[in-house]
Amino acid sequence: MKDYIQYLQDVLGLQSVMLPKSDQEPLGTQFYGPQGPFQPTEFQHYELVFLNILTQAKESLFLPEVQDLFGKMKTAMKLKNIQVLELDCTVDDRSLLPSELAKLCEGKVVVVFSSFPKDLGEFIFKGPGHWIETYSPSYLLEDAGAKKVVWNDLQKVMKELGL
């Protein structure tokens, strides 16, 4: 995590980064966009939310090598005229993730990226939307064999959104 924070500060030039006040303090569930902590000014509805669970610094959607692959994935999905939100997040308890996200925004479909997906490729009703968990783009950089699994999951999302 500290490598990721150092990268954000040194390479991306961010001033405020996601460190807790002390190394002993738990992070809880926190959401981050490309500019740092995600703090919307008003509650919004998105048709599609990409939520990337961070377990290591190299997993961020906003790192150049990951961003490149993720961009290709979105292009293949043909996401032209829909509201999309992309976030990294840290979680202590995955079961709280839907309620924590619901405090900030609402998504018709939420794609959860993880290196260790729990319910791989299954749509689950959580709150007002459908959630599906699959492998993260950073995981695909290490295991290209999982790309077919992810593409099948993204096709389910496209069908759900009518794309």
What does the alpha-carbon distance between residue 150 and residue 143 come to, in Å, rounded to a whole number? 11
Q: How many residues does this entry show for the chain?
A: 163
Strand stretches in the chain, DSSP E? 30-33, 36-37, 44-53, 84-90, 105-114, 124-126, 129-135
| Predicted pLDDT of residue 74 | 94
Q: Where are the domains of the chain?
A: 21-161
In tens, the pLDDT along 47-89 reads 999 999 988 777 899 989 999 999 999 999 998 889 999 999 9
CA atoms within 13 A on the CB side of 2: 2
Q: What percent of the chain has pLDDT over 90?
A: 45
CATH topology for 21-161? Uracil-DNA Glycosylase, subunit E (3.40.470)
pTM (2 d.p.) = 0.80
